[in-house]
Amino acid sequence: MRLLRLDPTTAHKKCAKIVGDVMGDFHPHGDQAIYDALVRLSQDFAQRYPLVDGQGNFGNIDGDNPAAMRYTEARLTDVAVLILEGLDEDAVDFRPNYDGSEEEPAVLPGAFPNLLANGSSGIAVGMATSIPPHNAHEVCQAALKLIDAPETTVEELVEIVPGPDFPTGGIIVETKSSILESYRTGRGGFRVRARWAVEDLGRGTWHVVVTEIPYQVAKSRLIEKLADLINDKKVPLLEDVRDESTQDVRIVLVPKSRNVDPALMMESLFKLTELESRISLNMNVLSKGTVPGVLGLKDVIVQWLDHQKDVLVRRSQHRLEQIERRLEILGGLLVAYLNLDEVIHIIRTEDEPKPVLMERFSITDVQAQAILDMRLKNLRKLEEFEIRKEFDELSKEAEQIRALLGSDAKQWKVVSMAIRRVAAKYGPETPLGRRRSTFADAPEHDQAEIMEAMIEREPITVVVSQKGWIRALKGHVADVSNLSFKGDDGLMTHFHAETVSKVLVVATNGKAFTLDASKLPGGRGFGEPIKLMFDLEEGEDVLCVFPHVDGAKVLIAGTDARGFVAPQNDLLSSTRKGRA
């Protein structure tokens, strides 16, 4: 796009033209793969800082496809211009393209911290990488801190870069210690939740409105999942879901009744849907552009800074060589102005004036050629003043560059100034620069409460056979005499309960086990053996099965006629091993 001169100030060009040029010169693969990459670079919900400014239908957060490349147009953004800055000034090494007909940069100059700011994810041969997007202003501030104090620790950097900043916003509910560990090691993850608020509809009624969803979640898929959960009766607290989105996301969640706890309803939805998702961090990068390795936050920023310094040195060297070439030519032209009549005489009388000029005035081949190429209109007096002025200015600039190249401190000062300009351009007060993702602690809810909120409360009848098979019939069945059993098996016990109930099982070894009534097999078949539902030792058997009643007590007696009274709540266990 840069070669096509698609700067932010020029007109957009057809994407088909861009894709064709990429395929012809740099990437001998399918046009669809190239167009997909171009589209993604322009989507403000996929890229934190888009590199492409698209015109036309470039897809949306619902996951709809973009228009065909013959309809859409694109050009570069300011961010992309920053990344490419200095490409003509020998800032980076070039290598031949796939057919050797062109040259392509091995890496980009990268005046913008794109790796962290836009993130990256992909799978290479035998290694994967996953870097979430960050806030460019924060990354720049961290870089400036490292220039001033290279011994800065990761803990201090995390004060400046507290965590990722996703293009779609959301709330990061990861603990500070977990985030710190992720940035120290370069591996970890971040839990991101949708942003929601309760909207009061008057007369005690309300609904929840979701305004931001986690990164890389397609909105249409999320709403489909919510609708399926309602149909399957997996979320008894939720009545309906509506998509009222326009340019902004607006998902309306209607509760079953006004008495529902909104926080509890949302907790159950976070567990069941992509309203909460985990974004992994695996900072597997090519160190120095060649060696793969997992780096922490500090190492990644340090490598970007080192690269910026290398780019500055190379660009300065390139500029110095340009100045020296120009000064040589200007020196020759000044000789010509000082000896104008003699120069004209030599050019008019000599068959080969170049060697004569070189010998007479002790000038180089380049200088002699510059004199011969001079136009007659350049002989005016004013031109001499301009050449002297340019000569003085370039000499002064060359001195400054030599001083810069000779001083490490001056180089870091120039790098700092460049980073400060980027930080200011994408500061927190700019629409693109302000932080979108915020941080919060996940509210603490009792796990049992949340699990209960995910189960539809319905009456059931639990049936246990003599051989230890269990099943749950729908509704409260009064007469179970006509139930069928396997082979010579028969009824041991039956009782009424609800889907949200707990069922207690006591075994012959004196251990108590807990089953969730909602997870019991249905009443269509013979059920399933209770023994398979927990870890029962060899030779032991199920003694009795009964519903748990909160606050009730049981009398437990051993074969030796000794016993005690125990609260039922003490019999509850959350593992397969049960309670002794």
**Interatomic CA distance for residues 392 and 413, integer angstroms:** 25
CB under 8 Å to 133, separation ≥6 — which residues?
Answer: 47, 48, 49, 116, 117, 118, 119, 164, 165, 166, 167, 215
**Interatomic CA distance for residues 28 and 26, integer angstroms:** 7
Residue 145 half-sphere exposure toward CB, CA atoms < 13 A: 19
SS3 content of the chain, % helix, strand, coil (to 5): 40, 25, 40
Spatial contact of 58 and 43, defined as CB atoms under 8 Å apart: yes
Strand partners, 128: 123
**DSSP one-letter code for 203:** T
- Between the CA of residue 578 and those of 346, 506, 512, 520, 563, what are the distances in Å? 110, 9, 6, 17, 20
In three-state secondary structure terms, 521 is coil
**DSSP one-letter code for 488:** T
Spatial contact of 77 and 1, defined as CB atoms under 8 Å apart: no
Spatial contact of 41 and 15, defined as CB atoms under 8 Å apart: no
In three-state secondary structure terms, 503 is strand
Kindly give the pairing relationship between strand 438-439 and strand 469-474.
unpaired
Tokens standing for residue 86: 């200095």
> Residue 166 belongs to what H/E stretch?
none
Active-site amino acid positions: 71
> Residue 427 belongs to what H/E stretch?
none
Spatial contact of 168 and 436, defined as CB atoms under 8 Å apart: yes
Spatial contact of 425 and 457, defined as CB atoms under 8 Å apart: no
